[in-house]
Structure 1
Amino acid sequence: MTKILITAAGSYGDIAPYTGVGARLRDAGHDVALATHDAYAPLVQAAGLEFRHLPADPRASRPAPGPRPRSASPDSKRDLMRKAAAFIRELGGGIADAARDDTELLLLSTTTAPLGRHLAEARDIPSLGLSLVPNAPTGDFAPVVGGARSLGRWGNRTAGRLSLRIVDRLFKDATRDLRTRLGLPPATPRTVRRRAEAALWPVLHGFSEVLVPRPADWRTGLDVVGNWWPWHAPDAQLPPAVEDFLAAGPPPVFIGFGSMAGGEGERLSSLAVRALRRAKVRGILQSGWAGLTTEHTRQDPDILTVGEVPHALLFPRMSAVVHHCGAGTTAAGLRAKVPTVPVPVTADQPFWAARLASLGAATTPIPFKDLAADDAVTRLADALTKATTDPAHRDRATEAAHRLATEDGTGAVTEAVARLTT
């Protein structure tokens, strides 16, 4: 038995996949703790894992919702960088507190890896990267946080290296503080990162090659292993109110924006309801951070609002899913064999939205900022109609689901852990 600490920070989609990884490792006989924010303690404990506290509020580092100019002002970019750096700096101290003296192995998410590597160095214990996005430079595509447009092979690689330097800058203060606390000699984030790359530090990527084939120009040690699905109880069921709604009519459309668009609930709810009615389809709105609600349509029997419901249970019952295209939600839609209407907001979401569309499992993406346009209801309604009536989208999603079913992402993590601990 190995005492393993998994560290993950961010929103629900950044945390939930690691509950599935942790549960699989626990079943293999390991002692597993997952360190994350307090809001996710019930999620961690329900999976049978030990919860450990990480500080910082992921909402504080998010950009404001709503329409944004194509090129944000220097002041707004600097403000966002300051918020992100402050979040990371607070996180650094928490990671040091979460790792106890008997920790034997660190499993580090993308957000926590630049901090966790210092901890592994100080404790002289092995570590393994577990990433939900492809963030190593490649000629195959531009950095995922830069959108979906390719810059050509040379441009993609150059932009990828620049993206890593920006991340290094964000971690500068946190790195200085953490290395001082751990009694390590001074070193910049870039120096530590390049040491890891030179040592072929292993990183497993928890997504499917159905969407992102492993780039041939990636170094040894970077592997794509398949999705890590959030844990849920084997006997889990949908709430009775949801089952009653599903039984009352044809399969509805799911609409949700996860941890995006905080404070936009009233506007987005009204837009969603009008689009559903125009497309003549039933709908389930997931409240999320946006606070979607159907309070103003209580008498409408064709629309329901839900809170947190496992996508693995809900999505297969839908006729289509409308979402922001976070990595986990993107995979969940494919796994459920249903078409997607992508509404990407920021970060890696335009990348995943474009991947779904190129696969044929989604309609043309509607950028979130476009939902503020005068024709937003029409565009969303047209996309809903296409997603629910064109069989080609469902056929492509079904083909992808069959490939996903052959992959065992958490099994690959278990095998990697065995190699590191024997």
Structure 2
Amino acid sequence: MKIAIPLTGTRGDVQPAVALGLTLRDRGHEVIVGAPPNLVDFTAGTGLKAQPCGPDVQQLYSSEEGQRALAAGSSLRLMQLVGKQMAEYAERMNREVIEVCAGAEVIVSTLLTEDRAVSVAEASGAGLVTLHGFPGRKTGAYPFPGALPPHWQPPAAVNRATWSVAENLRRVVFLRYLNQLRGELGLRSTTKSPAAMCAARGVSEVQIYDPALVPGLAEDWGDRRPLVGFLALPRAAREAVGELADDHTELLAWIDAGEPPVYFGFGSMPIRDTHQVLAMVTEVSERLGRRALVSAGWSDLDAAEAESGAAVRVVGPLAHDIVFPRCAAAVHHGGIGTTFESLRAGLPTLVCSVSFDQPMWGGQVERLGVGVHLPFAKLDADRLTAGVRTLLEPETVARTRELAGRLAARSDAAERAADLVEAAAR
């Protein structure tokens, strides 16, 4: 069976779908992935067939304008930037999605591509499954991510109202481009939102995060939106794209030479002043008497030029599945992939959120008692010290280890998602 997976976004959006693609390939299916141009080599490196699809969103986030929006912690400003980029790319994106999905019997989309995929599937008669990396449909259990402060717990009617507003906004913003696509496909124009179009076709909306992180959601939604768990990239695939275990030998030796450090992952945060950030981490480390491991990722924090003492180690991107189990706690931006990895490793987690779904996950780790939420815009040494101190409390550690056991038990997420994809063809 030929399966097409059109994608766009950053690596955090692409990697889980690649993990599913590998599972489907191993079951004997022909899989083709449409990936952003900056992630085509990454996708192909895992062994999947890949071709360009969508703009380079990471380049947008790394731009001066993108960095200012990230630093302000404004999801609205970021949505405006992404919307502008997507508008300029709309016609090309339509063509690329059509090309990726040509001849497919089943299409697997994400929240970012389901709007186009549902029309392509309608035109071709292909089955469709969509992957959601965070709650993306109306529910009374939670508000639309970013619509309300994450520590609020409003009544169900208020939560549903935020979804109605967000869904209508998405419909209005993108409807022109979708109807242009539908015209190219020989379909009638529509006024429906992507959610309504998926509902009309009975599309299976697979939630690729763990139900333990969102109590009450599975009960609210039922079988059409199964929560299968996070789709983790296998170690063999990580090795294939260059995340070699052997490359971590020196770092692991440093970790094992003392008390487990606190991990600080600034890879997706808009770091504008390297010296200020390192000074803050060093101060927190000294106050708490704990070592710190700082991962620069793709921020402008330069590991090679960083100045730090013996208790603070600065490195570039690293393999979370290798390093996290040796740490004591984690501080990062709160993307679902990194959040899953840190909690699965049993690390109490401080989510230093920037935008989109990150504040929601920050609110959840705080609500579950396994971490702390601190918006990046409010980050300073005192707040960071207090937050990390909470992470290291025995009660927080115990709750996180209990949750880690539940997350680790759900290791069949990719297989369960693959079953749903195969069912869509039938």
TM-score, normalised on structure 2?
0.88
How far residue 97 of structure 1 moved from its aligned partner, in angstroms, is 2.6
How far residue 370 of structure 1 moved from its aligned partner, in angstroms, is 0.5
Aligned match of 2:333: 324
Q: How many residues align?
A: 411
Aligned match of 1:134: 135
Aligned match of 1:268: 277
Task: After superposition, give the CA deviation of every residue in 1:39-72 in whole Å (9 maximum; x if it has no partner).
Answer: 2223322322111211312132757346538897
Considering only aligned residues, what root-mean-square deviation do their CA atoms show, in Å? Answer: 2.6
Contact 2:331 2:352 (C-alpha < 8 Å) held by counterparts = yes
Aligned match of 1:340: 349
Contact 1:92 1:178 (C-alpha < 8 Å) held by counterparts = yes
Larger displacement relative to structure 2 (112-121 or 281-290): 281-290
Correspondence for 1:287 among 278, 285, 296: 296
Matched, 1:251 2:229: no
Aligned match of 2:229: 226
Matched, 1:33 2:19: no
Task: After superposition, give the CA deviation of every residue in 1:82-125 in whole Å (9 maximum; x if it has no partner).
Answer: 3454456653332123223x322100011011111111112111
Q: Distance in 1 between matches of 2:162 and 2:97?
A: 29
Amino acid paired to 2:394: P
Amino acid paired to 2:387: A
How far residue 358 of structure 1 moved from its aligned partner, in angstroms, is 1.4
Contact 1:17 1:231 (C-alpha < 8 Å) held by counterparts = no
Matched, 1:377 2:381: yes
Contact 1:88 1:170 (C-alpha < 8 Å) held by counterparts = no
Contact 2:303 2:314 (C-alpha < 8 Å) held by counterparts = yes
TM-score, normalised on structure 1?
0.88
Pick closer, same or farther for the CA change 1:89–1:396 going to 2, 3 Å: farther
Unaligned runs of 5+ in 2: none
Q: Distance in 1 between matches of 2:278 and 2:86?
A: 29
Amino acid paired to 2:112: T
Aligned match of 1:152: 155
Correspondence for 2:213 among 201, 211, 214: 211
Pick closer, same or farther for the CA change 1:322–1:233 going to 2, 3 Å: same
Amino acid paired to 2:84: R
Residues 10-409 of structure 1: matches in 2 within 5 Å? Answer: 10-59=9-58, 60=60, 62=66, 64-65=68-69, 68=72, 81-83=83-85, 85-86=87-88, 90-100=92-102, 102-146=103-147, 147-148=149-150, 149-190=152-193, 193-213=195-215, 214-218=217-221, 220-233=223-236, 236-237=244-245, 238-261=247-270, 263=272, 265-294=274-303, 297-298=306-307, 300-363=309-372, 365-371=373-379, 376-388=380-392, 390-407=393-410, 408-409=412-413
Q: Distance in 1 between matches of 2:118 and 2:163?
A: 21
Structure 1 stretches of 4+ with a deviation exceeding 6 A read: 69-72
Percent identity over the alignment?
25
Unaligned runs of 5+ in 1: none
Task: After superposition, give the CA deviation of every residue in 1:364-408 in whole Å (9 maximum; x if it has no partner).
Answer: x1111102xxxx1122123223323x1222211111111112222
Pick closer, same or farther for the CA change 1:362–1:87 going to 2, 3 Å: farther
Task: After superposition, give the CA deviation of every residue in 1:246-280 in whole Å (9 maximum; x if it has no partner).
Answer: 23322111111343326455543443333233332
